[in-house]
Structures are given as C-alpha cells and as structure tokens.
Amino acid sequence: MGQYVIGLDNGGTSTKAAIFDLSGNEIATAGKQTKVITPKSGYTERDMEELWLANCECVKNAILKAGIDGEDVLGIAVCGEFDEDERFIYEYYYPYLEGSGITSCEDVSVERHAEKESYAGVCDDLSLGVSIIFYVQNVADLLNEQRLNQLSSCTVTLRFSGLSTGGKVLLPVIKGMTEEENSEAVLQRTKMIQAARDGDEEAIENLTLEDMDIYSMISRRIADEDVFSIVSTYFMPYGVECDHYSILGEILEYNLVENSLTEEKIYVLTVESHDLIFEVCINQKDLLGEPGVGRRFKGVIWLQGEMIFHP
C-alpha cells in the first residue's frame, strides 16, 4: 500500500501541497498563487473551481518533485472547507482503488451528482448490452478538460475498479468453448446488439430468440443443477445506488497486501466479468473462501472509473 501522505494548505493568496513519509518527514512541497475576490470593502471570496484546480496542480508538482509514483500515496481523498472557527468540515470522502488496465473504449458521458461535487460517468458497453454507470475518480482531470473545452476533441478510455465489502470465492465451471471461440461469439453478439440499436429488425429478432433459448436451457437444468454451475459470469445492477453492481467473474490474478495504516489484510483481485477486466479490492476478513487463478469471485462492488483523455 502507500508510503506517503499529502497535506494541503489553502491560504488567503496561495495554495501549498506537501508530501510526508509515514514518519512525518517532509519529502517535497509545491505552491501556487491564487486570486482573492473582493466584492466590497472588508469582504473576500474565493473561486472554488480555481482553488480546486490549484490544489490538483500543487499535488501533481509535489509528486514530481518527490520523484515518487502517485500510487505510493495513500488512497483516501478528502474534500471540505474550514469554518469561521478554523475547524475543517468534511463534505465527503471516499476510498478508492486505481485500476491497472484499459477496461473500455466506449463513448462516455458525465453528469454531476446533485448533492455534492462529484461526478458519475455513463458508457454504453455493447458486450453487456446495457449502460454502465461509475463513480469518476479523477474529477480534476475532467474539470480541466472542460475548462479548456477539449472534451469534444479528445478520445476517452476507461480504467475501471471496484470496492467490495463482502464476497465469496466459487469453484470454476467447465467451459464449453475455447478462448478463441468465446471471443468470436462475443464479437458477433456485440455486432448484433449494435445492429439492433440501429433498428435492424432481423438483429432484434435474433437477439430475442437467443434470449429465449438461454432461458429455456436454464429452466431445464435448474431442477437438477446449482445455478452457479450453469451461469459462469454475470454483471448486473444492484440496489438503488446506480454505481453498485452484483458481479460473478473469473479471477485472473490476485495479491494479498497490507494497509499500512490499519494493518488490515486486503485482497486485490483481477476479475473478468462478462468480458470486462478490472481490479476488485476487498478486505481479507470480508472474503469467504481462498482466491485462486481460475476460481470465481461473487460479490457486490462499488464501481469506480478513471477517465483517460487522449488528444
């Protein structure tokens, strides 16, 4: 896990960021001048968007000066402001896990959450046939692209990750197709879904018949078999939270790490669920069973995503 922490100071005319190791030693600092708005005599205000971007710039510069990787910084983000008594009020904070690979290259739209300064991303994944909603991790990069009016001219790829507070490890199932055959089947279904969205009546009919065949097959087998020996993977919305999903997927890789602050053991699983590959983070005590390559993870995740902007 991370080896460093970052402190931010927003003063009257400047913003500063400082990086410390876990022993309290200062590693690097960075600062930036910011504007003060004076609407009338005796009153001062701050532009919150400018302040946010200044914080992000200072953090990035401090990391560069320190010569460390951003992944070495503890993964807790905190937002808030000081009140009149100089007490820091937490508006919201959240844990996060940075993914390691590109999960999707589909078109993305972004909407701001109504109750706080955070954003939800939406992408239509054709292999799933549904829209995927996720919590945007790198809001600063998004706001910077919006400020520069570059969103319409750049390509966006997505790096998904998930946090889970409870899950199980299931044994693998015998696959009826090879990897090549499965990839070809996914490609053909993706093309069919796109054609159906474009109004192709034949594609719509074929998809309907295919779903009926699957339902009929499951209905026949469910009387004598466990459902998880029939269904090898799924990715479904869960509950009323739009970015929560119930998933079942094959474990491709796993690592057991330790939270350097709480000393809790944490599993980081690389999971393939319905042709989406992403990392899932879960406390060891919250995972029932021993993970292994080829076994399956079943659980509920909070889906997060990093938007990567390409010129």
Q: Name residues whose C-beta falls within 8 Å of residue 145's C-beta, 6 or more positions apart in sequence.
A: 151, 154, 309
245 CB-side CA count, 13 A: 26
The residue among 272, 271, 273, 293 whose CA lies nearest residue 282 is 271
Q: Is residue 91 part of a domain?
A: no
pLDDT of 152 = 65
pLDDT of 74 = 66
pLDDT of 93 = 67
User: How many Å apart are CA 257 and CA 2, to the nearest integer?
Assistant: 11
Residues 192 and 136 reside in one and the same domain: no
Residues 134 and 242 reside in one and the same domain: yes
DSSP tally for the chain: helices H, then strands E: 5, 16
User: How many Å apart are CA 290 and CA 272, to the nearest integer?
Assistant: 17
Residues 107 and 248 reside in one and the same domain: yes
Interval 248-298: pLDDT, tens: 999 999 999 988 767 889 999 999 998 889 999 999 999 999 999 999 999
DSSP 141: H
pLDDT of 79 = 60
The total of structural domains in the chain comes to: 3
Helix/strand/coil for 308: strand
Edge-first strand order for the sheet with 26-33 is 4-10, 14-21, 26-33
Task: Look up the domain containing 155 and give its range.
Answer: 99-173+232-311
- For 135, counting Cβ atoms within 10 Å of its Cβ (0-12 exposed, 13-18 middle, 19+ buried), the class is buried
Each of the 311 residues of the chain gets a pLDDT tens digit; together they read 457 888 888 777 788 888 888 777 888 989 888 888 887 777 777 777 788 888 888 888 999 998 888 777 765 455 666 677 766 666 666 788 888 887 777 788 888 887 777 889 998 776 666 789 999 988 877 877 776 766 666 788 889 999 999 999 999 987 766 767 777 776 777 777 777 777 888 888 887 888 888 788 878 888 888 888 888 889 999 987 789 999 999 999 999 998 876 788 999 999 999 888 999 999 999 999 999 999 999 999 999 999 888 87
Residues 166 and 50 reside in one and the same domain: no
pLDDT of 291 = 96
Residues 194 and 263 reside in one and the same domain: no
Q: Is residue 306 part of a domain?
A: yes
Q: What's the pTM?
A: 0.66
Residues 253 and 165 reside in one and the same domain: yes
pLDDT of 275 = 81
Q: Is residue 82 part of a domain?
A: no
Q: Is residue 94 part of a domain?
A: no
pLDDT of 284 = 95
pLDDT of 1 = 47
pLDDT of 80 = 64
Residues 164 and 113 reside in one and the same domain: yes
| Cα–Cα distances in angstroms (integers) from residue 136 to residues 45, 112, 167, 307, in the given order | 28, 10, 23, 7
Residues 58 and 121 reside in one and the same domain: no
